């Protein structure tokens, strides 16, 4: 084999080696990205579960607040002091007055 043919063969072998290394690096990068996506998807699922719990808590809180509004209106009709109702519900007297006056404007 002549020197030029040996050089050509060596360059081809080097090119194949570089191509193999590049392909392995590409596969590793793709695998890393796919693993990251799977992890993010898992975290998003956990966030959805947390969001559902918060949504349930908000709905329950809203229901309790609506119940409190009704009780305040009944209490006012019975003559219960606004300050006492506010203290019992841990809200301001202003809030109690707003609840009492809802729908009257």
| pLDDT of 97 | 93
| pLDDT of 80 | 92
What are the angstrom distances between the C-alpha of 6 and each of 1, 12, 19? 6, 10, 20
Kindly report, residue by residue over 43-57, the tens digit of the pLDDT.
777 777 777 888 888
Task: Give the residue-averaged pLDDT of 27-33.
Answer: 80
The model's pTM is 0.51
Residue 16 has pLDDT above 60, yes or no: yes
Domain range for 41 is 3-101
- Please tell me the total count of domains within the chain: 1
What are the angstrom distances between the C-alpha of 63 and each of 54, 55, 69, 92, 93? 14, 12, 10, 19, 20
CA–CA distance, 18 with 12 (Å, rounded to integer): 10
CA–CA distance, 71 with 22 (Å, rounded to integer): 73
């Amino acid at each position: 084999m002549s020197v030029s043919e040996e050089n050509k063969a060596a360059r081809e072998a080097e090119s194949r080696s570089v191509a193999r290394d590049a392909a392995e690096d590409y596969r590793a990068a793709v695998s890393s990205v796919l693993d990251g996506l799977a992890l993010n998807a898992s975290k998003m699922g956990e966030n959805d579960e947390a969001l559902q719990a918060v949504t349930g808590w908000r709905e329950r809180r809203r229901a309790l607040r609506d119940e409190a509004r009704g009780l305040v209106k009944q209490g006012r009709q019975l003559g219960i002091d606004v300050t006492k109702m506010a203290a019992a519900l841990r809200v301001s007297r202003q809030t109690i007055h707003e609840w009492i006056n809802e729908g009257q404007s």
